[in-house]
């Protein structure tokens, strides 16, 4: 049922009066629960791995055309099950500059792109996509948000916040 609702959400974006190929959908998530291993680049906890599998189950049939992640184990491991299920590569991006969004739009316009980020980068990327300062940094214990953003161009879009 959840998969149906997500697919329904993605396909209904054409209702705004534009051809669906003119709209690009972004599925933005913060990495799942990270391990506390004393390093700057930890992997996921068992709970985080379970959340990554749940994310894969939700979006395996959502028409994902590209997957992006920061170059950290926890962000990559969060989307790895989805990438494996779709036989796709996880592309890396640098969240310190929003230039990567222009490149993604040029390369995947009209597609559905998953971006795995962090407590500070995911809301920041969402705000850049929709063109307003609406979302703030997530707390260190907040892991279950999915930002579904549909845009016609950078800075002009709508967002729905889901929990998983």
97-153 confidence digits (pLDDT tens): 889 999 999 999 999 999 999 999 999 999 999 999 999 999 999 999 999 999 999
Q: In whole angstroms, how far apart are CA 12 and each of 6, 55, 58?
A: 10, 21, 17
Is residue 18 pLDDT above 60, yes or no? no
Distance CA 17, CA 14 (A): 6
pLDDT at 20: 53
Report residue 41 as tokens: 């680049």
How many helices (H) and strands (E) the chain has is answered by: 5, 6
Mean pLDDT (whole number) for 75-103? 95
Distance CA 17, CA 61 (A): 24
Q: Which residues pair with 151 in a beta bridge?
A: 24, 157
What's the order of all strands across the beta sheet hosting 90-92? Answer: 90-92, 66-69, 112-117, 24-30, 145-153, 156-163
Is residue 91 pLDDT above 70, yes or no? yes
Return the sign of the alpha-carbon dihedral for residues 37, 56, 80, 85. positive
pLDDT at 1: 52
pLDDT at 17: 42
Domains and CATH numbers, the chain: 2-163 (3.40.50.1240)
pLDDT at 55: 98
Distance CA 97, CA 34 (A): 24
Distance CA 90, CA 85 (A): 12
State pLDDT tens for residues 23-59. 999 999 999 999 999 999 999 999 999 999 999 999 9
H-type alpha helices, the chain: 2-11, 46-59, 73-86, 99-108, 121-130
Which residue, among 134, 161, 133, has the nearest Cα to 145 in the 3D structure?
161
């Amino acid at each position: 049922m959840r998969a149906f609702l997500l697919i329904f959400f993605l396909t209904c974006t054409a209702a705004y009066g534009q051809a669906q190929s003119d709209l690009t959908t972004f599925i933005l998530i913060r990495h799942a629960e990270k391990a506390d291993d004393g390093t700057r680049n930890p992997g996921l906890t068992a709970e985080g791995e379970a959340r990554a599998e749940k994310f894969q189950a939700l979006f395996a049939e959502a028409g994902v055309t590209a997957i992006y992640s920061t170059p950290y184990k926890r962000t990559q491991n969060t989307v790895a099950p989805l990438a494996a299920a779709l036989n796709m590569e996880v592309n890396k991006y640098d969240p310190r500059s929003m230039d990567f969004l222009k490149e993604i739009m040029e390369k995947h316009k009209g597609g559905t792109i998953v971006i795995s980020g962090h407590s500070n980068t995911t809301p920041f990327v969402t705000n850049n996509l929709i063109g307003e300062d609406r979302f703030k940094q997530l707390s260190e214990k907040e892991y279950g948000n999915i930002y579904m953003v549909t845009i016609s161009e950078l800075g002009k879009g709508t967002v729905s916040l889901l929990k998983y």
